[in-house]
Structure 1
Amino acid sequence: MTPRRFGDDRGWFSETYHEQRLRDLGVTAKFVQDNHSYSKQAGTIRGIHFQRPPHAQAKLVRCIRGQIFDVAVDLRRASPTFGRYVAAELSAQNGRQLFVPVGFGHAFLTLEADCEVIYKVDDYYAPETEGGICWNDPSIAIAWPVVDGTETFPMLSAKDAALPFLSDADFDFPYEGTPLAPLNE
């Protein structure tokens, strides 16, 4: 989804969160926490992260500086689209946002240096429920873009480098009957 921007000679203004408009799009999450990350180096991957119930999180993600390749992976085992993903390029320039529902893993790759990402979540951070999937799991086969000019690809935290493959990960998300659908650009 891309919030409208109202521009003039000074720049632009945008409503990045409007509860009723999101509800009209089927997003009913009540956000309780905002997160902000900064990645110094192009080619940095954060994720694939999730929180298990009872603290599973839906996220509304946007990039406010730089450009990222943002990914949501269906982790609902009963879903016909289990293990598939959608991806979108989010940037400060294009103003796009990605809603990541409960039951999906989330990751992003920085496409340039000095990226800042802000995301709203509908449950508080609960470290005892956090989990993740390895960024290069062949069963998911994310088509990560090539980031030119990076010496080390990808740049990962030690924690993300040790994440298990999908087949070995510990999670149990319910499937409510809505499979993963292509993104509306």
Structure 2
Amino acid sequence: MILTFEMRDMETRTKVWITEDGKPVMGEGKVALLKAIDEEGSLRKACSKVGVSYKHAWLVLNKMSERLGKDVVVTVRGGKAQGTFLTDAGRRLIKEYDMSKQLLNETMHDETLREDLGLHLSARNRIPAKVIEVEKGDVASRIKVSIEAAVLSSLITSEAVEKLDLKEGDEVFAVIKSTEVLIGKKAVTRE
């Protein structure tokens, strides 16, 4: 018997967990609970929003606080200010998770990185270049690179300039796409 099958609509997926001393503290579901608590100011309403029981939510929150050694929520009883609210530690957890997830997503969708890892890249016209000017802005920065035949200009985010640690004189490569010029830089190992 010969089995054949078709692979359709395949995609790479990843998950992010925040850990403490190698033990999981939270993943996507717990982040959703914390965000719902922050939005609702009520554990009951947050539980309803994310579809978990009140008891389960308290067990989860207590385990998170225990692993971190800090409370992630605080409950205020009585009066107009009553409710369940995130602590600074809870907000930092959400921020850490969101930043890690964003970095992972950017990495997974970075075509130049995938090519360096031996994966296929649709933009084949990668050109070695040298940074000749960096104009940093608050949100976007203009990078001028020199190639043998000409000088190219690329508009990229200032965050990308920081992540790539771009400076004048750096050896980089330009990836030309139909609508943009991307900037990439080989990773430098520091000892």
Tell me the TM-score range normalised by the shorter chain. under 0.3
Q: What is the TM-score when the length of structure 1 is the normalising length? A: 0.23
Q: Which has the higher strand share?
A: 1
Which structure has the larger Rg over C-alpha atoms?
2
Output the TM-score relative to the length of structure 2: 0.22
Which structure's residues are more often helix, by fraction?
2
By relative contact order (CA 8 Å, sep 6+), the higher-ranking structure is 1
